[in-house]
Amino acid sequence: MAKILTGIQSTGTPHLGNILGAIIPAVKMANLTDDESYLFIANMHSLTQIKDDKALKENTFATAATWLAFGLDPRKTCFYRQSDVPEVTELAWYLSCFFPYQRLKLAHSFKDKSENLKDVNSGLFSYPMLMSADILLYDADIVPVGKDQLQHLEITRDVASRFNNLMGETFIIPQAKIEDDTKYITGTDGEKMSKSKNNIIDIFVDDKKLRKQIMKIETQSLSVEDPKNPEECNVFKLFEIIASEDDVQLLKNQYLKGGVGYGEAKELLFNKILKRFAGNREKYFELLENKDEVEALLLTGAHKAREQAQKVLKRVRSRVGF
C-alpha cells in the first residue's frame, strides 16, 4: 500500500486557480485511491509570511472549508492542521542537524522569496526542513505537488537518505507525483492566476463582487461583429475550463463567426461559474457558519495523525540515542 500525503499553505482564501489546479485533482485522487491519504493545512509554514493571529486563523478555516466544500471526505482522508501535531517541529530539528547548511542555501524558493519579501526570517530559510518533516513523519510514499515544489521533495529525499545512511534505515524515501495535466489557470490579466498578482477570481464572495471580478477580465478591443480568436481571449480561456464541451463549442463558433461581444461572453462566464459552483459555495458558507464543526473535524484528524507521527518519532529518537 502506498501512502499519499500533501500539504497546502493557508496564505489566503483559495482562488479559482488553486481550486481548479490543485484542490479538485487532489480530492479526486484521495477519493479514488484505496491507499491511505493525508492532507493537511500547512499553517506553520504560513507563519513565515503572515504575522497576524486573526488572519492566520481565518485563512486556516477558509482553506479547510474549501477542501471540504470540494468533496474532501474526512472519514477517508486524514485531514488535519499542521500546528496540531507538534511532533513535526521536533523531527524538523533532527533533520536540520543532518542537512548541510550550504545545500539549504541553494534552494530556489528561498532565493525567490528572499528577493521579494521584506520579512526574510530564518523560518523561511529552514522551510524545507519543516516540509521534509511533514512528509517523513508519516512514512509517506507519494507526495502530489506542483512543479514549484519539486526541489523541496528532492531535499526531503536527500535528508532522509543522509539520515538512513548515517544512523540506519529509518525513513521511507518518498516520491513526488507531478500532475502532468495540471491546468494552468489564467487570471483576469491573462497571466497565471496568483494571490500575489491581484488578478484572482475568488468564488467565495457575494454574486455582485464575483460579477465585478469577471467584468475586470482584460480583453482586446474588438467590436461585437468582429470575428475573434478564442485562444487569445482571457474570458474564453476560463469559460473553456468551466463549461461543458457543447457550450464551449457553441461559444467558439460564435467567436469565430463574430456577433458575440466581450460583455456578453463575460456574462456567460459569470453565469456558468454561479451554476457550476453553486453547491460548493453553499457548502463553504455553511461550514464557515459552523466553525466548531470544522474545528472538531480537524482535531479528530490531528488525533489520528499524531498516533502515526509518534510511532515514527519514537523510531527517530531511538536512532539518535534519546
Residues between 33 and 62 with contacts to ligand TRP, criterion CB under 6 A: 42, 45
Q: Pick one of 62, 143, 159, 214: the residue that binds ligand TRP (CB under 6 A).
A: 143
Residue 50 and residue 83 in contact, taking contact as beta carbons nearer than 8 Å: no
**123 versus 261: smaller Cβ distance to ligand TRP:** 123
Q: Pick one of 19, 41, 145, 309: the residue that binds ligand TRP (CB under 6 A).
A: 145
Q: How many other C-beta atoms lie within 10 A of the C-beta of residue 34?
A: 8
At its nearest, how many Å lie between ligand ADP and the CB of residue 90? 26
**131 versus 238: smaller Cβ distance to ligand TRP:** 131
Residue 68 and residue 297 in contact, taking contact as beta carbons nearer than 8 Å: yes
**9 versus 164: smaller Cβ distance to ligand TRP:** 9
**167 versus 205: smaller Cβ distance to ligand ADP:** 205
Q: Pick one of 16, 19, 131, 269: the residue that binds ligand TRP (CB under 6 A).
A: 131
At its nearest, how many Å lie between ligand ADP and the CB of residue 104? 20
Residue 161 and residue 173 in contact, taking contact as beta carbons nearer than 8 Å: yes
**113 versus 183: smaller Cβ distance to ligand ADP:** 183
Residues between 143 and 202 with contacts to ligand ADP, criterion CB under 6 A: 146, 183-185, 192-196
Q: How many residues bind ligand TRP (CB under 6 A)?
A: 13
Alpha carbon 119 to its chain centroid, in Å, reads 22
- Residue number, nearest CB to ligand TRP: 7
**148 versus 293: smaller Cβ distance to ligand ADP:** 148
At its nearest, how many Å lie between ligand ADP and the CB of residue 183? 6
Cα(177)–Cα(220) distance, integer angstroms = 38
Q: Is 190 helix (H, G, I), strand (E, B) or coil?
A: coil
- C-alpha cell belonging to residue 81: 492542521
Q: In what order do the strands lie in the sheet with 77-81?
A: 77-81, 37-42, 4-9, 142-145, 175-178
Residue 153's φ and ψ, nearest 5 degrees, are -70, -35
**8 versus 65: smaller Cβ distance to ligand TRP:** 8
Give the DSSP per-residue string, 15-66. Answer: -HHHIIIIIHHHHHHHHH-SS-EEEEEEHHHHTTT---HHHHHHHHHHHHHH
Q: Pick one of 5, 7, 21, 210: the residue that binds ligand ADP (CB under 6 A).
A: 21
- What are the Cα distances from residue 229, in Å, to 44, 205, 251, 263? 45, 31, 11, 16
What one-character DSSP code corresponds to residue 147?
Answer: G
Q: Out of ligand TRP, ligand ADP, none, which partner does residue 21 contact, by CB within 5 to 8 A per kind? A: ligand ADP
Which of these segments, 142-150, 162-170, 234-242, 298-306, binds ligand TRP (CB under 6 A)?
Answer: 142-150
Q: Out of ligand ADP, ligand TRP, none, which partner does residue 22 contact, by CB within 5 to 8 A per kind? A: ligand ADP
Q: Detail the DSSP E strand segments found in 192-260.
A: none
Q: Is 144 helix (H, G, I), strand (E, B) or coil?
A: strand
**49 versus 310: smaller Cβ distance to ligand ADP:** 49
Residue 217's φ and ψ, nearest 5 degrees, are -60, 130
Asked if 213 interacts with ligand ADP (CB under 6 A), we say no
Q: Detail the DSSP E strand segments found in 157-294.
A: 175-178
Question: What residue ranges bind ligand ADP (CB under 6 A)?
Answer: 9, 11, 17-18, 21-22, 146, 183-185, 192-196
Question: What residue ranges bind ligand TRP (CB under 6 A)?
Answer: 6-9, 42, 45, 131, 134-135, 143, 145, 149, 152
